[in-house]
């Protein structure tokens, strides 16, 4: 479970429409800034285990760069084939500029 006591990044480092991969307690987590709201998902495509951090963020959707599956970064839902299983989401807490991820 991610450690919620240490900030994992800062809002000022992630512009709206962009992502940033961070390590949280050994897990790859992808932070996604959607119009000023930061979401956190596991940085692993459920279709083939590839990382999502090189994918393109389009609104609330992130595309897996390997096979084109889309995921909703707010809910984790798999939106298109070949992915059918959701990605894990994490609760995000923002205090000032600091971003905290909670399991």
Whether the pTM exceeds 0.85: the reply is yes
| Percent share of the chain, pLDDT over 90 | 85
Mean pLDDT of the chain: 93
Task: Label residues 29-65 b or e (16+ Cβ within 10 Å = b).
Answer: bbbbbbeeebbbbbbbbbbeebbbbebebeebbbbbe
Q: How far apart are CA 19 and CA 40, in angstroms?
A: 9
Give the chain's domains with CATH numbers: 9-102 (2.102.10.10)
Q: How far apart are CA 24 and CA 16, in angstroms?
A: 22
The model's confidence at residue 4, banded by pLDDT at 50, 70 and 90, is: low
Per-residue pLDDT of 78-93, as tens digits, reads 999 999 999 999 999 9
């Amino acid at each position: 479970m991610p450690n919620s006591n240490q900030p994992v990044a800062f809002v000022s480092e992630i512009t709206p429409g962009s992502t940033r991969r961070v390590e949280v307690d050994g897990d790859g987590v992808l932070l996604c800034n959607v119009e000023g709201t930061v979401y956190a998902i596991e940085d692993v495509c459920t279709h083939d285990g590839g990382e999502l951090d090189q994918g393109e963020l389009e609104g609330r959707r992130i595309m897996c760069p390997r096979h084109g599956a889309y995921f909703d970064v707010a809910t984790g839902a798999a939106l298109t084939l070949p992915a059918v299983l959701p990605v894990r989401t994490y609760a995000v807490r923002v205090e000032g500029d600091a971003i905290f991820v909670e399991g």
